[in-house]
Amino acid sequence: MNQPGSKSQSWHRDGPDEGYIDVFVPLVDLTEELGPTQLLPGTHDMKDVDSLNGIHEDELPSVTPLLQRGEILLFDYRTLHKGLGNTSDNKSRTLAYSVYTNQSPVDIHNFPDALTLEFD
């Protein structure tokens, strides 16, 4: 959830492993003021993303999809992305988030305490 008054996140990957797909489904229509997700296409193939620190973001081509409620954004887990700040007065940006893979599903980067998909 991205609440009113929040700041933009730093660029990040959800993890370094190949074969994972992030799935974002907004539960509200996205606008620029709600702080949508911004992505840097092609960065999933970059080995040294730390070298991007200090580069001004205007120097890199980014995309910021303004999805409608229920539309789906799929992207490689390794793609650099960030949630932008929510500048609205009173509306939160909510979304459903999932990660899919055809590998053994262990996402220790986002869920370090979850060794399996079983519930405690």
Burial of 80: CB neighbours in 10 Å, binned 0-12, 13-18, 19+:
buried
Structure confidence at residue 91 (pLDDT)? 87
Answer whether residue 118 shows pLDDT above 60: no
Answer whether residue 120 shows pLDDT above 50: no
Structure confidence at residue 30 (pLDDT)? 93
Q: Which amino acid is at 28?
A: V
Give yes or no for a contact between 77 and 15, defined as CB atoms under 8 angstroms apart: yes
Tokens standing for 99? Answer: 């990660």
**pLDDT tens by residue, 71-109:** 999 999 999 999 999 999 998 889 999 988 887 666 666
